[in-house]
Amino acid sequence: MQRLQKVIAEAGISSRRKAEQLIINGQVMVNGKIVTTLGVKVDPDRDQIIVNGKKIKSHPKKVVVLLNKPKKVITSMKDPQGRKTVVDLIHISERIYPVGRLDYDTEGLLLLTNDGELANRLMHPRYELDKTYEAIVDGNPKEFELERLRKGIQLEDGLTSPAKVEKITINKKNQAKIKITIHEGRNRQVRRMFQAIGYSVIHLKRVQYGFLTLKGVSVGQYRFLNEEEICRLKQLVSLSCKEKER
């Protein structure tokens, strides 16, 4: 017997925290009855569990997909304005969800999975997974300005953690390409950090997430992580990797 919210998360419906909210909101039925109490235990092999009208599988195949997200694509399951979303780019039978987000105008490495527990851990600030971006900014930041980013800079939602920052090139338009590594996941954080030192980001691409890179994955394309990669990801967030993955 397992807690209902854990079963929902492991089925890839949502993170465990969001599963708890689904239960509280009356969106979950067990054996034909709405359950709104947290902590209820179920047998996923015997009990019929329905979330928002859809029966969940007791042991869905866990997958993790690495997508090279293009610009002008929404990091969401659906968009009220009818814009293309990241899940529109991935054609698989499993229902997967984005791990965190990339802005509409930001491209690069994005993970999607149906493993709710793994996704929740990857997004938790406790585990501090590095995310590396290449930013092209309008202008040529001085070293002392970049040092402010390295030490942490005050934004409207608080002081950022220290970042790794390296200037790569300067083009003929006096635009600098800068590599920056952070482990936080605040909204539009990299863009706001550069804005705070007086520079606008013209182009932004996430090129690495933990140990994962975009090698071999073109813009708009994706690949499945292999068993070893999933295991390494789980180890980074203190999860067991005994279960065989796709």
Q: State the helix-helix crossing angle for 143-151 and 189-196, rounded to 10 degrees.
A: 130
Nearest partner of 177 among 136, 141, 206, judged by Cα: 136
d(CA 48, CA 235): 32
Active site residue: 47, 103, 105, 138, which one?
A: 103
For the beta carbon of residue 55, count every other beta carbon within 10 angstroms: 11
For the beta carbon of residue 84, count every other beta carbon within 10 angstroms: 12
d(CA 207, CA 227): 21
H or E, element range at 223: strand 222-224
Beta bridge partners of 112: 65, 98
CB 137 within 8 A of CB 200: yes
CB 101 within 8 A of CB 75: yes
Rg, Å, the chain Cα set: 20
Structure tokens at 169: 């090139």
- 157 labelled catalytic: no
Token pair 């007086």 in the structure block, residue? 198
d(CA 83, CA 88): 10
Catalytic residues: 103
